[in-house]
Structure 1
Amino acid sequence: MANPAADPAARAPGVKVALSTASVYPENTATAFEIAGRLGYDGVEVMVWTDPVSQDLDALRALSDRHEVPVLAIHAPCLLITQRVWSSDPWTKLKRAKTAAEKLGASTVVVHPPFRWQRQYARDFVSGVWRMAGETDVRFAVENMYPWRYRDREMLAYAPDWDVTKEDYRHFTVDLSHTATARTDTMAMVDRMGDRLGHVHLADGKGSAKDEHLVPGRGDQPCAELLHGLADRGFDGHVVIEVNTRRAVSVAERESDLAEALSFTRRHLADARARRLAVPPRTGRAGGAV
């Protein structure tokens, strides 16, 4: 059965839709490229983690060539489980992520704010990201996070803050699963990001203390509203599907979820474009288009 999301006619011009390699976990990076190519994604975002292939630029280039799927973004290894991937020094990680993006042709490096216990890194983070951004055409898009919660307790795990709009960054990544977990107003955060919104992690959530990363449309986040408004915001980045499929009972179920996420995203991007094209141009006093 043909996959409608893979039909080039269904692709909205302008915004590219990529698959995060994290979306196929516990499958590996190579599987993500294969699935992205088969389903018709425009590219991938490589989550650099403990899978050796995700850390190997030659292997990533070979996968990209084999499946004809470009690498559009690199997610730097800043998770708890990746603290020793590409060095234990966080600045070395970002430098290697920048090099990977440059060599693979990716436009964006996604980075989380530091953990609070990374005191020196946190102290220099804002100025350091600006400095590195000035050394390359690659965007360093800092991603919103969330408070950690356990029962009735809340711990602020990130510094300077989980709400990255409280700091002055050149580019932001908005993650809608993280806004759900933070129980914050997503569109208000996006408004604060303004024209510095450079990258989107599209997923859904229901406000659980756990970072859910549901398929878009299965939670209560304004996924469609965000997609509809990207053009109006002058967005020139990528939308990345970053969902949790680890509970899929079969390969077919995992691919069905990823196809659904791609179809949802392309449909709402196309709807937004159609509405913009349907609006007649404003005219000046002499009747000419403005």
Structure 2
Amino acid sequence: MKWTLSLSSGIAYTRPLSDLLAPVRQAGFSRMQVTAAPGHFDYRNNERVLSLRREMDRLGIRTTSMHAPYGGKADLSSLHESNRVAAVAEIERSADALVSLGGKVLVLHAGTEDEDARPQWRIRLSQSRASLARLYAYCRKLGLVLAVEDMLAHLVGGRTEEVLWVMESLPREGAGICLDIGRSYLSGELLHRVKQFGDRIVMVHAHDTMGVYDDHLPPGEGMVPWPSLLNRLADTGFDGEIVLEINDRPGAPDLIERARKSALFLQRLASAAGYSIDAG
């Protein structure tokens, strides 16, 4: 079993993505998931997207995937139809940028960031399914894979059964699940969720937590049972991308160096279990 490892540009989502490239390459990372966050990466400006592609090519960094915009104007579950349609169009723009960068997998949230929306979960997820149907068709035309990410369990789209229900509406070819390790651990169902999602997992967002908050710590710095997790992933036949999704938070210095150490940590665990993780 061999997996590839990438670094999410969300490690510095409060700063311009271009400022991150050289330090990331110096740390040994050559694959990146680009985060479509305001002030970080302007996916709407094609000239800037192409300029970023040239700089990444020069440094030897390959875009493997993109985290689409979410929340606010990009809420695919919006109950206001005009807002939902606008959210789909916004994410289609990010898909266009991903193609220009040479990536293949578009990660998105099917639920909502609105913490007061839980009573509306049925209609919200129905709205999401309508949005995903259009986005799936759009991504297929572009040659992209759509990856639906699980959310925090208290949010719409964060429960295991909700993710599975949403995925029922999408074909297996060209669509899968992005398993968020920290959120799944906080749900209390991490290993169960891996089994339930099974071979629909096409990507993993790897980060750790101390068990209370969605900390986005480097793997190995929290409470996630990584050896058991890797074994359970292997049991599903997972052969996708593992993305280090470590967030830029106040009081968290040297994140790139900590990301490098966490990559080595995961490689050692995988090697001990007879697997391989390629971080280069």
- Preserved CA contact (<8 Å) 1:90 1:121: no
The equivalent residue for 1:265 is: 266
Q: Distance in 2 between matches of 1:160 and 1:28?
A: 33
Q: Distance in 1 between matches of 2:260 and 2:146?
A: 28
Q: Distance in 2 between matches of 1:211 and 1:259?
A: 21
- Preserved CA contact (<8 Å) 1:17 1:241: yes
TM-fit CA distance, 1:254: 2.3
Q: Distance in 1 between matches of 2:136 and 2:97?
A: 18
Residue identity over aligned pairs, in percent, reads 23
- Preserved CA contact (<8 Å) 1:248 1:254: no
- What is the RMSD computed on CA atoms of the aligned residues? 3.0
- Preserved CA contact (<8 Å) 1:146 1:162: no
2:27 aligned with 1:39: yes
The equivalent residue for 1:226 is: 229
- Preserved CA contact (<8 Å) 1:172 1:196: yes
3-state SS, counterpart of residue 236 of structure 2: coil
TM-fit CA distance, 1:31: 3.1
2:199 aligned with 1:195: yes
The equivalent residue for 1:176 is: 181
Given residue 207 of structure 1, which amino acid in structure 2 is its aligned partner? G
Going from structure 1 to structure 2, the CA distance change for 1:224 and 1:160 (only over 3 Å counts) comes to closer
3-state SS, counterpart of residue 255 of structure 1: helix
- Preserved CA contact (<8 Å) 1:180 1:206: no
The equivalent residue for 1:284 is: none
3-state SS, counterpart of residue 15 of structure 1: strand
Q: Distance in 2 between matches of 1:179 and 1:137?
A: 29
The equivalent residue for 1:106 is: 103
Q: Distance in 2 between matches of 1:140 and 1:194?
A: 16
2:75 aligned with 1:75: no
3-state SS, counterpart of residue 110 of structure 1: strand
Please list, as runs of the form range in 1=range in 2, the aligned pairs for 1:62-211 lying within 5 A after superposition.
Answer: 62-80=54-72, 89-115=86-112, 116=117, 121-122=127-128, 124-148=130-154, 156-158=155-157, 163-167=162-166, 168=168, 169=170, 170-181=175-186, 183-208=187-212, 210-211=213-214
Unaligned ranges ≥5, structure 2: 76-82
Q: Which moved more, 1:192-201 or 1:266-275?
A: 266-275
Given residue 273 of structure 1, which amino acid in structure 2 is its aligned partner? G
- Preserved CA contact (<8 Å) 2:164 2:197: yes
TM-fit CA distance, 1:82: 6.8
Going from structure 1 to structure 2, the CA distance change for 1:21 and 1:79 (only over 3 Å counts) comes to farther
- Preserved CA contact (<8 Å) 2:95 2:139: no
TM-fit CA distance, 1:164: 1.2
Write the deviation string for residues 196-216 of structure 1: whole angstroms up to 9, x where unpaired: 1000100011332x3211111
Q: Distance in 2 between matches of 1:21 and 1:231?
A: 26
- Preserved CA contact (<8 Å) 2:195 2:236: no
Aligned residue-pair number: 249
The equivalent residue for 2:49 is: 57
Q: TM-score, normalised by structure 1?
A: 0.74
Highest Rg: 1 or 2?
A: 1
3-state SS, counterpart of residue 224 of structure 2: coil
Q: Distance in 2 between matches of 1:53 and 1:94?
A: 14
Going from structure 1 to structure 2, the CA distance change for 1:34 and 1:78 (only over 3 Å counts) comes to same
Q: Distance in 2 between matches of 1:42 and 1:224?
A: 25
TM-fit CA distance, 1:189: 0.9
The equivalent residue for 2:80 is: none
